[in-house]
Amino acid sequence: MTLWYIGNTSVRSAFRLRDGLVALSTSYLQGNMRGQDGDRAFRELLGQHGIVSLGTDETNSVGRKWRSALGKLGFLYPEIPSSTTIRQEDIGAMDTITPNGWRLIRSETVPAMQECFLRSLAAQYIEIRNSDGQSTWFSPLRHTLAVLLEVERQTGVAAVNFIEMALNVQTTSSADNIVTVAERIIALRNERNAAESKRRFDSAKYEEAGIAFDLKASTFRDYADANLRYLKATGLVQNRGRGIALVPEKRLFAELMTRDTSAPASELERFTTLCNGAHLPTDTQNAALNVLHDLISQLSQMGIPFILGDRPVGTPADIAIIRHEIEDIIFKQKE
């Protein structure tokens, strides 16, 4: 069994990270954020820009946590562990802004920002060890999307609630049978719906999980909270009660994402992909056109006309401009 989380459990609001990056991009602190002085300086920079409330923090942990979050998500070049054979210079100067970080800074619309987080989370792979000691890597994002699609196949709705995320999604991986994972989710849902007291039921289930994993019961809630927040930042899922549901207009995209079951072949590739942002299905011409036409069709169903006219669609980059425009229209329509 495994228990994973994506994003960062300290910085709960994903989109605030962009504000931190923007502030950092205009300061002298890039590459100078380590040690007590670096932690203090970054914390003060975030406070000066109104991104965090400074308060009293003698350890300057805010600066350290934000630097860690930006590095883990590939918006800053992370420190390469000394235990690896990779050199820091093979990846990039530590604590400086990466290509995906600059992409996020330059994003002006919500869909464009969401794509940066999507590239970040799609590049995150977690190592799991099999019973025979062999290790494999899996993508938590793709696993979650696959679970949602399988739950939809079995129930008609691509959604999971908070406790289902906490106890059934983030405790499994692509090594588990996806049909079985969905069946466990539905069984838990039915059992919870029949419970006289949802609060007592939840508390008992978290305690059981804590014993099974030898962890505090609160850990499952904390991880689920972070996972749900960062998953929503990709734009592929949205709020459904305290849980999440697949965004209907992104269903085709989600299906394309789950078909990619590959993993980085080396540590160098893993770090490079994280900092550059993962390759997405819409980076290829045919898939980009399919997603574009699907979005235009959905706009039409909403009663909103959209005419391509003679706008260029010769490259995935051309299509991305139009796709983000349509996604922004849909986003504002929903708002």
DSSP 44-69: HHHHHTTSS-----TT-HHHHHHHHH
Q: Is the pLDDT of residue 252 over 80?
A: yes
Question: Residues of the chain with pLDDT > 70: what percent?
Answer: 97
Residues 167 and 43 in one domain: no
Confidence (pLDDT) at 57: 67
Last-in-domain residue among 236, 263, 290: 263
Report which DSSP code applies to 265: S
Q: Residue 126: what residue type?
A: I
Do 76 and 11 form a contact (C-beta atoms < 8 A)?
no
Rounded to an integer, the average pLDDT of 81-105 is: 94
Alpha helices (runs of H) in 73-177, residue ranges in sequence order: 88-91, 99-106, 110-122, 140-155, 162-164
Residues contacting 53, CB < 8 A, separation 6+: 47
Residues 171 and 251 in one domain: yes
Residue 77 located in a structural domain? yes
Q: Residue 200: what residue type?
A: R
Residues contacting 213, CB < 8 A, separation 6+: 1, 3, 171, 219
* pLDDT band with cut points at 50, 70 and 90 for residue 140: very high
Q: Is the pLDDT of residue 73 over 90?
A: yes
Residue 169 located in a structural domain? yes
Confidence (pLDDT) at 134: 74
Rounded to an integer, the average pLDDT of 93-101 is: 97
Residues 34 and 98 in one domain: yes
> Of the candidates 167, 177, 143, which has an alpha carbon nearest to the alpha carbon of residue 215?
167
Q: Residue 287: what residue type?
A: A
Residue 121 located in a structural domain? no
Last-in-domain residue among 263, 293, 318: 263
Residue 270 located in a structural domain? no
Which of the listed ranges 49-58, 121-130, 164-173, 254-263 does the model predict with the highest average pLDDT?
164-173
Residues 134 and 216 in one domain: yes
Residues 203 and 141 in one domain: yes
How many structural domains compose the chain?
A: 3
Residues 216 and 155 in one domain: yes
CA distances for 157 relative to 148, 182, 231, angstroms: 8, 12, 18
Residue 4 located in a structural domain? no
Residues 254 and 153 in one domain: yes
Residue 117 located in a structural domain? no
Residues 51 and 151 in one domain: no
Residue 272 located in a structural domain? no
Residues 217 and 133 in one domain: yes
* pLDDT band with cut points at 50, 70 and 90 for residue 135: confident
Residues 228 and 196 in one domain: yes
Q: Is the pLDDT of residue 15 over 70?
A: yes
Query: CATH number of the domain that 160 lies in?
Result: 1.10.10.2090
pLDDT digits (tens, 9 = 90+) for 19-72: 999 999 999 999 999 999 999 999 999 999 999 887 766 667 888 999 999 999
Report which of residues 311 and 147 the model is more confident about: 147
**Per-residue b/e over 178-207, b at no fewer than 16 CB within 10 Å?**
beebbebbeebbeeeeeeeeeeebbeebbe
Do 313 and 292 form a contact (C-beta atoms < 8 A)?
yes
Residues 236 and 140 in one domain: yes
Which of the listed ranges 29-38, 147-156, 250-259, 278-287 does the model predict with the highest average pLDDT?
147-156
Range of the domain at 20: 16-111
Q: Is the pLDDT of residue 214 over 80?
A: yes
Do 121 and 231 form a contact (C-beta atoms < 8 A)?
yes
Residues 158 and 236 in one domain: yes
Last-in-domain residue among 233, 263, 293: 263
Residue 7 located in a structural domain? no
Confidence (pLDDT) at 58: 67
Q: Is the pLDDT of residue 129 over 80?
A: no
Do 66 and 72 form a contact (C-beta atoms < 8 A)?
no
* pLDDT band with cut points at 50, 70 and 90 for residue 79: very high
